[in-house]
Structure 1
C-alpha cells in the first residue's frame, strides 16, 4: 500500500518526461520512450515480462506486416498508373484535387496511408508543374485526404491498430468494422467537400512552378566544380556564358578556400574553382546535363556519368541525417550518390554543400550512382520526391499468383475464417515465395525505432492504468468538464487527444488518452465504445501542424510550406472534423 504513491509519482514523471521530450523534439522519440520504460522497470512499476509482452503484441506485428506488404506493392505494381486513369480527364486544378483526394482517401482505407502519400507525392508534384499550378495547392489536400481516408478501416492507419491493441489488452472485444467505417466515411465526405470549396481558397499559392526563380520559394543551392580538363578554365564568366542564365544565377566562387561574391562578369575561372549557383529544380537539372565543362564534385568516385539520373529527395523528421553534415553522415558511401543541390523552405543557403547541417524538410537534389535506388528503396532517412522511372521486371505470373492469393486470403478474413493478423501474414508469406519481398528488403523495412516506440507506448499505457494514474487524470477531466455531463467529458477527451496529436506522435497521443478513456467510461458506468471512437478520430486529427503526422512533414518540403499554412487551413478543418465526429458519436453511442 505504501509503495503505491511512489509508483504513481514515477509513472507521472515518466508521463511528463515523454510529453515534454516529444514536444521539445531534441531527442529521438524512440530514446524518449525507451528511457521512460527503463525508469518504470527500475522503479518496478512494470516488469520485464510486460515490455516483452508489448513487443509481441499482435497489433504491433500487424503494423509491420502492413509496411512489408505496401512496400512490395509499391515496388512491383503500377498503382500510379491506375490512379492516372482517374485523373486523365481533369481539366482544372480543383477538378484534379477532387479526383485525387477521393482516390487517395479510398486507397488509404485499405493500404497504410503513409506509403500512399509517398507514392503520390511525385505524381502530384509533376502534375502541378505540367499544369502551371503551385504544388502547395495540392499537397496539403493529399496529406489530409490520406489521413481521413485511413480512418475508414482499422488497417488504414497504424493509429487505429495501436488503439485496438490497447483495447484488446483491457476489453474482451476491440472496435468493430462499422465503428471505423461509418464515421470514417462521414468525416471523409465532409472533409473532402471542405477542401474542394472553402478550403481550396485557404490553401497557399506562393509558388508557380514556371516562376519559382522569381519568387525564390524553391531556390536550390547548387555546387559545381571546374576540373583540369574543363573548357571553362581560363575563360571569364561572360565568355563561359554563365552570366545571363535563365532561371539560375552564379552567386559565388570559392577559390582555394576564399569566397568571391558578388561575381563580376570579367572574373576569370580557374581549375579547382567551386561555383555556386541558385535556381529552381528544372534549371538546375538543365545546367548539370549540359556539356558546359561543369562537373559534380567527386562524381568520378561514384562512377556517375555526364548524363546522370537526378533524384529529388526530402529529409524526413527523425532522420539520422538531421543535425549532421553530408560529410559526417558519409552520404556518398552510404547511398552511392552525391548531393548537388539543397533547398530549405525558401531560405538562401550559402557555403559548401558538404558543410551544411541538414534539417528536417530539406530537399536534396541527388546525382545517383547505379546502386542508389536499390540502397534507398526502403530507407526511412530519405524519401524520394521525384525519380527517373525504371522497370522492375517482375514476371506477370508472379503478380497474378500474388493477386489471386491476396484476394482469397482477404475474402476468408471477411468471411470470418481468418483473423486480420493471419491474413496479412499469409499475404507476406506469399510475397516472399513469389519473390516480391526479399529478406534484404524486410531487414531494411524493419524500423527498430518504430518498434521501440510502439512497445514502449503500450508499456506506459499499462503503467498508467495499473498504478491508478489514469484514474487520477480521469478525475481531473471529470471535474473540469462535469458541468456538461457525459457530453462535456466526451468533448473534453476529444479536445485533449487532438491537442496531444498535434504536437507529439499519434501513437503517443493514443497511449496517453486510452487509459483516461478506460477509467472515465468505467467510473461513469458507460459503454466505453464511444470514448474509444473519440480517441481514434481525435488521435488522427493531425491537421494543425506539420509535425503532427509523418505525411504532413513529407509534403512540407515539396510544397515549400510554412507552419502558418497548416494553421490557416488546419484550424477550420479541425473544427469541422471535430464537430462531425463528436455529433456522430453522441448520436450513435450516448
Structure 2
C-alpha cells in the first residue's frame, strides 16, 4: 500500500508543468536507453561485471535522487558503499573523494565565509554590489552580472561560497524565495568560467594536455570567449525568459503571517555612525521584511509617519515594530545600537553573546514591575532589547515597560543563560535564536582584506586555491574575525559528503573502464562527418561531466577526440573548444558541478529541479557550441 502511494505521488502529475516535466524526463530516458542499447551491442563494447555494477549504481543514484524523498547524502553514500563493499573500489579509491583537494577547498572556504559573515563584511558586499533592485528580473541582472564577471577570472567555488549567504539574506529583503536565485547564482558562475582560459581548472587542464601531447600552440586568455561569451549571453537570456515557470518557489519568503509576535524595539544611531547623513531609504531601513519604523525620537521632538527621505542624525532613537528575524537583522546593522545602555554594562564581551527569546511566567518575580524596577540586568545578567505582547505596540522606553505573564522578551545574554534559565519558574519558555551573535563590525575591513588577499594569491598563481583558502581561514581565526565554534558549525557537512561520494562513484566508472568503453563506442557512430564527430565529442564530454568530475571527463575524452580528429584528417582545435565548453556546461544535475551542489541545500531544491531548468540549457549550449566553433576554429 505504501509503495502504491509513493508511486502515485511520483507519477501522478496534477498540472501541465508536471505533465511537461514527466514527458521531458521520459524523452530523455528513452534517448538514454536507446544510446545504451546501441553502445551495449557495439562490437568494441566488452565490459567486466565490475563495470556493469558501476553503471548500475550510477543510474540507481540518479533515479533515487529524482524519484524519492531520501536525502541526497544518504543516496550517494549508499552508492559509494555498494562499490566499496563489492570490492570494485579499493580503500584508497573509495575514500579518495573525501581527500580530494576540491572538496577540502569547499570546506575551508566555509570558514572564510564565516569570517566575512561574523564581521558584517557580507552585508557590506551585499549593499555595494547587489543593492535593492525592484522586481525579479532586476534582481537576476544585479546578481548574475557581477558573478559572471568575477568567475571569468576567479575560481568558481569561492565566488559561489561567498555569495550563498549574501543571496540568502538578500532574498529575504527582496521578498524573493531563495530557490529563485540560487540556481542562477551557480549557473552564472559557470557562464563566466567558460569565457576565459583561467575561468575554470578544466580549461587549464585541457590546455595543458593540448601543449604536452600535440604541436599546437596553447590557447590565449580570451580565445575561448568567442564561443563562451555567446553561450553565457544566451544562457542569461534563457534564465530571464523562463525563470517564472522553471525555477521553483521551494522555500517561502518571510511574511507577516509567519510569526504572530510583533516586537517593539528601540535602536539608536551611534556617534559617528556610517548611517549619519543617509536617508531612511538609503540606510536600508525600509526594506527589512515584516518591520515597521513607527517614529524617530530626536532630542525632545517626536517624528511620526517617518518619510523615506528623512535624513538620520547622530543620537536619533528609532522605534520599530516587527518580527524576530527582522529585529535580528536590525541588531546586526553597522551604525545602529540598542537604545538602552544596559547592553554595555554586561560582563560578557558582545562578541560572545547571542539573542534569546524568553516568555515571562505568571510565577515570575518580574510580573507587575517595570524592567528597570525589577533590575532585570542584575537579576539575570541579560538585557531586554524588545518586548512582544499580543501584537500590541508598547509605548515608552524599554526600561519603563511593565511586564505581564505571557510577554515575550528578546534578550541579549551569554549563551549560558539558556542552560541556567530553562528550568526556571520565572519563564515558561527559553529559546536561543540561531546565528544571532552581534557582528564584529570593527574587523570587517580586515576580513574583506583577507578575502582580497586570498583571491589575489590564487589568481596570480603564487598559491593553489586550496593553499590560499587555508591561509585565509587560519588568519580569519587568529585575528578573531570568526570563532572556531561558529566556523565549524557553519560547514555544510552534507554538501561535503555528497561531493566525496560522487567523486568515488565517478572514480569507479573511470577505473572499471565503463566510461571509456561508452565513449569509444559512441565515437564509432560519427563515421566520416566532422560536424557529427564534433557534436558527439561535445555531447559525450557533457554527459560524462554530469556523472563524474569535469576534469576527469575532459581528461577521459581528450585522447579519444585527438585520435578522431587525426582519423578524419581535420584540425584538432574545434574539438578542444568543444571539450572545454562541454566539461563546464553542467546544468542538469546537482552533482555535475561543485557549485550546483553548494546551492542545492540553501535553495531547498529537489534533484528534478536541476533537470527541469538544466536540460534545455544543456541542449542550447550544445547547439551554440557546435554552430559557432567551426566558424572561429575551422576544421
- TM bucket (normalised to shorter chain) is 0.5 to 0.7
Q: Deviations 1:206-247 (Å, cap 9, x if unpaired)? A: 9xx9xx9xxxx98968799xxxxxxxxxxxxxxxxxxxxxx9
Partner of 1:126: 173
**Residue 120 and residue 534 in structure 1: after superposition, are their counterparts in 2 closer, same or farther (change >3 A)?**
same
Instruction: Select 1:369's aligned residue among 417, 431, 436.
Output: 431
Q: Is the 8 A contact 1:34 1:456 kept in 2?
A: yes
Partner of 1:149: 189
Q: Is the 8 A contact 1:497 1:539 kept in 2?
A: no
Partner of 1:491: 535
Q: Is the 8 A contact 2:101 2:466 kept in 1?
A: yes
CA shift, 1:434, in A, is 0.9
Q: Is the 8 A contact 2:109 2:161 kept in 1?
A: no
Q: Deviations 1:511-560 (Å, cap 9, x if unpaired)? A: 995676356435536577445423433313569xxx97664774569xxx
Instruction: Select 1:192's aligned residue among 236, 247, 256.
Output: 236
Partner of 2:389: 291
Q: Deviations 1:67-121 (Å, cap 9, x if unpaired)? A: 3222322332333444434566857765554334323444566534255143224
**Residue 73 and residue 402 in structure 1: after superposition, are their counterparts in 2 closer, same or farther (change >3 A)?**
closer
**Residue 484 and residue 426 in structure 1: after superposition, are their counterparts in 2 closer, same or farther (change >3 A)?**
farther
Q: Does 1:426 align with 2:528?
A: no
Partner of 1:66: 109
Q: Does 1:306 align with 2:411?
A: no
Q: Does 1:414 align with 2:459?
A: yes
Q: Is the 8 A contact 2:147 2:192 kept in 1?
A: no
CA shift, 1:392, in A, is 0.4
Partner of 1:392: 439
Partner of 1:77: 120
Q: Is the 8 A contact 1:72 1:437 kept in 2?
A: yes
Q: What is the distance in 1 between the residues matched to 2:445 and 2:391?
A: 49
CA shift, 1:46, in A, is 2.9
Q: Is the 8 A contact 2:542 2:585 kept in 1?
A: yes
| Higher mean C-alpha deviation, range 39-48 or range 64-73 | 39-48
Instruction: Select 2:66's aligned residue among 20, 23, 27.
Output: 23
Q: Is the 8 A contact 2:73 2:498 kept in 1?
A: yes
Q: Secondary structure at the match of 2:188?
A: helix
Partner of 1:536: 583
Partner of 2:75: 32
Q: Is the 8 A contact 1:18 1:33 kept in 2?
A: yes
Partner of 2:277: none
Q: What is the distance in 1 between the residues matched to 2:68 and 2:248?
A: 29
Q: What is the distance in 2 between the residues matched to 1:43 and 1:126?
A: 50
Alignment length (residue pairs) = 426
Q: What is the distance in 2 between the residues matched to 1:404 and 1:37?
A: 40
Q: Is the 8 A contact 1:530 1:585 kept in 2?
A: yes
CA shift, 1:478, in A, is 2.4
Partner of 2:18: none
CA shift, 1:194, in A, is 5.0
Q: Is the 8 A contact 2:161 2:598 kept in 1?
A: yes
Q: Secondary structure at the match of 1:539?
A: coil
Q: What is the distance in 2 between the residues matched to 1:305 and 1:530?
A: 65
Q: What is the distance in 2 between the residues matched to 1:469 and 1:499?
A: 13
Q: Is the 8 A contact 1:477 1:489 kept in 2?
A: no
Q: What is the distance in 2 between the residues matched to 1:369 and 1:485?
A: 68
Q: What is the distance in 1 between the residues matched to 2:326 and 2:455?
A: 45
Q: What is the distance in 2 between the residues matched to 1:499 and 1:220?
A: 44
Q: Does 1:477 align with 2:533?
A: no
Q: What is the distance in 1 between the residues matched to 2:75 and 2:227?
A: 33
Q: What is the distance in 1 between the residues matched to 2:99 and 2:597?
A: 25
Partner of 1:277: none
Instruction: Select 2:485's aligned residue among 440, 447, 451.
Output: 440
Q: What is the distance in 2 between the residues matched to 1:555 and 1:542?
A: 14
**Residue 181 and residue 86 in structure 1: after superposition, are their counterparts in 2 closer, same or farther (change >3 A)?**
same
Q: Is the 8 A contact 1:104 1:145 kept in 2?
A: yes
| Higher mean C-alpha deviation, range 441-450 or range 421-430 | 441-450
Q: Is the 8 A contact 2:179 2:603 kept in 1?
A: yes
TM-score by length of 1: 0.54
Q: What is the distance in 1 between the residues matched to 2:107 and 2:561?
A: 31
**Residue 391 and residue 42 in structure 1: after superposition, are their counterparts in 2 closer, same or farther (change >3 A)?**
closer
Q: CA RMSD in A?
A: 5.7
TM-score by length of 2: 0.51
Partner of 2:557: 517
Q: Secondary structure at the match of 1:46?
A: coil
Q: What is the distance in 2 between the residues matched to 1:100 and 1:368?
A: 38
Q: Secondary structure at the match of 1:395?
A: helix
Instruction: Select 1:116's aligned residue among 151, 158, 163.
Output: 163
**Residue 38 and residue 531 in structure 1: after superposition, are their counterparts in 2 closer, same or farther (change >3 A)?**
farther
Q: What is the distance in 2 between the residues matched to 1:152 and 1:120?
A: 18
Partner of 1:461: 506
Structure 1 unpaired stretches of 5+: 130-134, 225-246, 248-280, 295-302, 310-332, 338-366, 375-389
CA shift, 1:431, in A, is 1.1
Instruction: Select 1:47's aligned residue among 77, 85, 90.
Output: 90
Q: Is the 8 A contact 1:477 1:492 kept in 2?
A: yes
CA shift, 1:583, in A, is 4.4
**Residue 508 and residue 395 in structure 1: after superposition, are their counterparts in 2 closer, same or farther (change >3 A)?**
same
Q: Deviations 1:336-392 (Å, cap 9, x if unpaired)? A: 99xxxxxxxxxxxxxxxxxxxxxxxxxxxxx99335226xxxxxxxxxxxxxxx740
| Higher mean C-alpha deviation, range 51-60 or range 489-498 | 489-498
CA shift, 1:448, in A, is 4.1
Partner of 2:267: none
Structure 2 unpaired stretches of 5+: 1-45, 262-289, 291-321, 328-358, 360-386, 393-404, 412-417, 423-428, 567-571
CA shift, 1:406, in A, is 4.7
